Amino acid sequence: MAELEKIPTGIEGLDNMLYGGLPKNNQMLIAGGPGAGKTLLTFEILYRNAKKGIPSVFIPLEEDTPMVLRNVKEAFPNFTDLDELVKSNIIEIDGGGPALKVKEVTDSELYSFGNIVSEIENLVRMNNAQLVIVDSVSMLKLVLGDSSLYRKSMMGLISTLRRLNVTSIFTSELTSTERQSLTFSPEFFMFDGVMNMYQIGEKDRRTLAVEVVKMRGSNHSWALAPYEITPGGFKIYTIEQ
DSSP codes joined into one string, 45-73: HHHHHHTTT--EEEEESSS-HHHHHHHHH
Q: Say whether pLDDT at 102 is over 60.
A: no
Q: Which residue has the higher pLDDT, 146 or 25?
A: 25
Helix ranges (DSSP H) in the chain: 12-17, 38-50, 65-75, 82-87, 98-103, 109-127, 137-144, 147-163
Q: Say whether pLDDT at 142 is over 60.
A: yes
| Position 3 confidence tier, pLDDT thresholds 50, 70, 90 | low
pLDDT at 152: 82
Mean pLDDT in residue range 210-225: 92
Mean pLDDT of the chain: 86
Q: Say whether pLDDT at 194 is over 90.
A: yes
Evaluate whether 123 touches 86 at the Cβ level (below 8 Å): no
State how far the Cα of 50 lies from the Cα of 56, in Å rounded to an integer. 7
Instruction: State the virtual CA torsion across 238, 197, 54, 157 in degrees, nearest 10.
Output: 140
Helix axes 38-50, 65-75, angle to 10 degrees: 90
Q: Say whether pLDDT at 43 is over 80.
A: yes
Mean pLDDT in residue range 173-184: 63
| Position 92 confidence tier, pLDDT thresholds 50, 70, 90 | very high
Evaluate whether 133 touches 124 at the Cβ level (below 8 Å): no
CA distances from 127 to 76, 83, 156, 194, 208 (A): 25, 17, 21, 26, 34
Name 177's Cβ contacts closer than 8 Å, sequence gap at least 6.
32, 33, 34, 36, 198, 199
1 assigned to some structural domain:
no
Range with the poorest average pLDDT among 37-46, 137-146, 153-162, 178-187: 178-187
Q: Domain range for residue 227? A: 6-236
61 assigned to some structural domain:
yes
pLDDT at 173: 87
111 assigned to some structural domain:
yes
125 assigned to some structural domain:
yes
Q: Say whether pLDDT at 46 is over 90.
A: yes
Range with the poorest average pLDDT among 100-109, 139-148, 149-158: 100-109
The CATH number covering residue 44 comes to: 3.40.50.300
241 assigned to some structural domain:
no
pLDDT at 145: 66
204 assigned to some structural domain:
yes
This prediction has a pTM of: 0.89
| Position 80 confidence tier, pLDDT thresholds 50, 70, 90 | very high
The count of domains in the chain is 1
**What percent of the chain has a predicted confidence (pLDDT) above 90?**
58
Evaluate whether 224 touches 179 at the Cβ level (below 8 Å): yes
Evaluate whether 226 touches 31 at the Cβ level (below 8 Å): no
